[in-house]
A and B are shown apart, each in its own frame.
Chain A
Amino acid sequence: MPNLREIRRRIKSVKNTRQITKAMELVAASKMKKAQQSALSGQPYAALLAETLSHISTRIEELEHPFFEEREVKNRGIILVTTNRGLCGPLNSNLFREILRAETPMKFVSVGRKGRQFLSRSDRDLMADFVIDDAVPYVQIKQMTEFMIDKFLSGKIDTVEVLYPRFINVLTQAQSFAKLLPIHGLDEMITELRGKDAEPFESTKDNRNFSFEPDPKSILNSLLPLFVDRQAYQAVLSARASEHSARMVAMKTAKDNATKLIDSLTLQFNKARQAAITQEILEIAAATSSNS
Chain B
Amino acid sequence: MKLEIVIPKGRVYEDTIDSIVVPTSSGEINILPGHIPLVTEVEPGGIIVSKSGEKQFLAISKGFAQCLGDKISILAEDAIHMDEIDESAVEDAQKRAEESLATIEKMSDEEIVMLETQVAYAQAQILVKKKKS
Contact = CB atoms under 8 A, between A and B. Distances in A.
A56 B110 CA distance: 26
B37 A208 contact: yes
B10 A44 contact: yes
B40 interface: yes
Interface in B1-59: 4, 6-11, 24-26, 29, 36-41
The bracket for how many chain B residues form the interface is: 20 to 34
A146 B109 CA distance: 11
Contacts of A211: 36-39
A142 interface: yes
Nearest to A41: B10
A222 B111 CA distance: 16
Interface residues of A, number: 29
A48 B111 contact: no
B111 A139 contact: yes
> 6 nearest interchain CB pairs?
A213-B40, A206-B69, A210-B37, A41-B10, A52-B66, A48-B6
B9 A41 contact: yes
A51 interface: yes
B93 interface: no
A55 interface: yes
Contacts of B69: 205-206
A44 B41 contact: no
24 contacts: A44-B6, A44-B11, A45-B10, A45-B75, A48-B73, A51-B66, A51-B73, A59-B37, A139-B110, A142-B110, A205-B68, A209-B36, A209-B37, A210-B37, A210-B38, A211-B39, A213-B24, A213-B25, A213-B29, A213-B38, A213-B39, A214-B25, A214-B40, A222-B41
B104 interface: no
Interface in A3-47: 41-42, 44-45
A213 B26 contact: yes
Contact of A52 (B26, B75, B108, B110): B75
A212 B40 contact: yes
B25 A55 contact: no
Contacts of B37: 55, 59, 206, 208-211
B69 to A, nearest CB: 4
Contacts of B7: 45
Interface of B: 4, 6-11, 24-26, 29, 36-41, 64, 66, 68-69, 73, 75, 108, 110-111, 114
Given A205-B68, A212-B40, A218-B41, 19 more contacts: A41-B10, A45-B7, A48-B4, A51-B73, A52-B64, A55-B66, A55-B68, A139-B110, A139-B111, A209-B37, A210-B36, A211-B36, A211-B38, A212-B39, A213-B29, A213-B39, A213-B40, A214-B40, A219-B39
Contacts of B66: 51-52, 55
Contacts of A45: 6-8, 10, 75
A223 interface: yes
A274 interface: no
A210 B26 contact: no
A139 B114 contact: yes
A139 B113 CA distance: 10
A162 B68 CA distance: 32
Contacts of B25: 213-214
A144 B47 CA distance: 33
Nearest to A216: B39
B75 A49 contact: yes
Interface string A98-122: 0000000000000000000000000
Contacts of A270: none
Given A48-B73, A48-B75, A52-B75, A214 B38 contact: no
